[in-house]
């Protein structure tokens, strides 16, 4: 199947790669068929290209790439709608907004996209958790995570040194 897009020109896609979001996206209910395209081979970003409107494509990313503690709680109805039999079938992506200053790119953690890769069904869900907003600055989140990791690494190194010191003192006494 050929699709003539405004962003990528004419692309060849396989119908087996189509993602179906029966309810569409929030604000775009008429857009219910998509394909995921790589942004770049080394990039964590992907393009969610609309099949219904080839001029529409959204940048998406796995939230775990910049917020490893991100948790999505889906309802029983949402699991049923996606026909998820196994949590390993689910893939989470979030929509990214990139303004003129790319350092201020943000991700919508309040309304992630949940895909069942085995049957190609998807759904945008709205999380009730108040810690998630529609605008999380990706660079700030990455920096915050990096600082936490550095702090954890420092704590581990200190704990190892203290444990080693205790062992050395114990062995020198014995």
- The domains found in the chain, sorted by start residue, are 2-137 (2.30.290.10)
pLDDT of residue 174: 61
Query: Nearest Cα to 135, choosing from 108, 101, 100, 102?
Result: 108
Q: Which long-range contacts (C-beta less than 8 Å, at least 24 apart) are formed by 103-106?
A: 103/139, 104/137, 104/139, 105/137, 105/138, 105/139, 106/135, 106/136, 106/137, 106/138
Read off the pLDDT of residues 29-58 as tens digits, 9 standing for 90 and up: 999 999 999 887 788 999 999 999 999 999
pLDDT of residue 165: 62
Coil/strand/helix, residue 111: coil
pTM above 0.85, yes or no: no
Helices and strands, number each (H, E), in the chain: 2, 11
pLDDT of residue 149: 57
Q: Which residues of the chain have pLDDT under 70?
A: 146-166, 168-170, 172-174
């Amino acid at each position: 199947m050929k699709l003539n897009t405004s962003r990528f020109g004419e692309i060849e896609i396989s119908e087996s790669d189509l993602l179906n979001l029966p309810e569409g996206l929030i604000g775009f209910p008429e857009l219910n068929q998509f394909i995921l395209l790589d942004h770049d081979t080394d990039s964590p970003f992907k393009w969610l290209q609309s099949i219904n409107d080839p001029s529409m494509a959204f940048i998406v990313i796995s939230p775990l790439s910049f917020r490893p503690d991100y948790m999505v709680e889906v309802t029983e109805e949402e699991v049923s709608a996606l026909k998820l039999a196994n949590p390993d079938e689910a893939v989470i992506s979030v929509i990214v907004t990139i303004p003129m200053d790319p350092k201020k790119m943000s991700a919508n953690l309040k309304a992630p996209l949940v895909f069942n890769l085995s049957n190609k069904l998807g759904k945008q869900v709205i999380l009730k958790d108040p810690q998630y907003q529609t605008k999380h600055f990706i660079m700030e989140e990455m920096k915050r995570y990096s600082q936490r990791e550095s702090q954890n690494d420092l704590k581990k190194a200190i704990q190892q040194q203290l444990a080693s010191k205790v062992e050395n003192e114990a062995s020198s006494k014995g």
